[in-house]
Amino acid sequence: MKASFDALIAERAARRPLQHLVGEVEFFGLTLAVGRAALIPRPDTETLVEAALVRFETNSQAPLRIADVGCGTGAIALALASRLPALHVLALDNAPGALALAAGNVRRTNLESRVRLVAGDLLTPLASGSLDGVVANLPYIPNAEIDGLEPEVRDHEPRDALAGGPDGLDPLRRLAPMAARAVRPGGRVLVEIGAGQQDAATRILVDAGFGPAETVPDLKGIPRVLAASLPA
């Protein structure tokens, strides 16, 4: 027992993330398994969940169909499905390891009937006009900044879940026109962004055909989420 504890202390001292050592994390009231195959869910992303809950909440019993793009551990999809009984979520990722983690989390939260995992690149597997909305926490860190991140992130998180190109917005540039095609008129898109990306990210959404974007700040007051609708 002591030897195991000492080994854990040594790994933490070497800057391995605590969440990887314990194998799970709390996110929006859910206990989710984590590992090196997917980004560890963070409190900043709860801002995206809260913003989506407000915008997708409905008094109707008609089901809503949304996509969580780049689902990773499945945290966003599961948090939304756990709070909105009328919601059905397609959770998409192109990383087999992330989908395996997400599959375990879908089972542990007993949400198999309303969260379906889909392997694919962004929204390419989905038909035009098939969604009521899209949520996404895509990579948004500029490539040149990754080597300066804390070792817990730089050395232990999947680089593909971090690197967003020269300005951090290349994944959003690809997603925005796909989302404009996949959502029905009046459908919504909500995306998490990094500090200082608000104006450029808003232009990307508007250029793709979405209406003016609302900004939702995180607990530090940093613009963290953009929410926009496709004109009806």
Question: What's the confidence (pLDDT) of residue 36?
Answer: 92
The tens digit of pLDDT for each residue in 137-163 reads 999 999 999 999 898 888 889 999 999
Q: Which CATH number characterizes residue 43's domain? A: 3.40.50.150
Question: What's the confidence (pLDDT) of residue 232?
Answer: 85
- Under the phi-then-psi rule, with left for phi > 0, alpha for psi from -120 to 50, and beta for the rest, what region is 51? alpha
Question: What's the confidence (pLDDT) of residue 156?
Answer: 85
The tens digit of pLDDT for each residue in 168-209 reads 999 999 999 999 999 999 999 999 999 999 999 999 999 999
The tens digit of pLDDT for each residue in 198-209 reads 999 999 999 999
Q: pLDDT-derived band of residue 8, with 50, 70 and 90 as boundaries?
A: low
CA distances from 29 to 16, 83, 132, 135, 229 (A): 24, 10, 25, 19, 28
The tens digit of pLDDT for each residue in 107-141 reads 999 999 999 999 999 999 999 999 999 999 999 99
The tens digit of pLDDT for each residue in 57-108 reads 875 567 899 999 999 999 999 999 999 999 999 999 999 999 999 999 999 9
Give me the number of domains the chain comprises.
1
Q: How many CA atoms lie within 13 A of 63 on its CB side?
A: 13
Mean predicted confidence (pLDDT) in 7-31: 80
Question: What's the confidence (pLDDT) of residue 23?
Answer: 85
Q: Which of 27, 25, 155, 9 is nearest to 80 (CA)?
A: 27
CA 79 to CA 69: how far, in whole Å? 14
- Indicate the pTM of the whole model: 0.93
Structural domain for 52, as ranges: 2-229
Question: What's the confidence (pLDDT) of residue 14?
Answer: 65
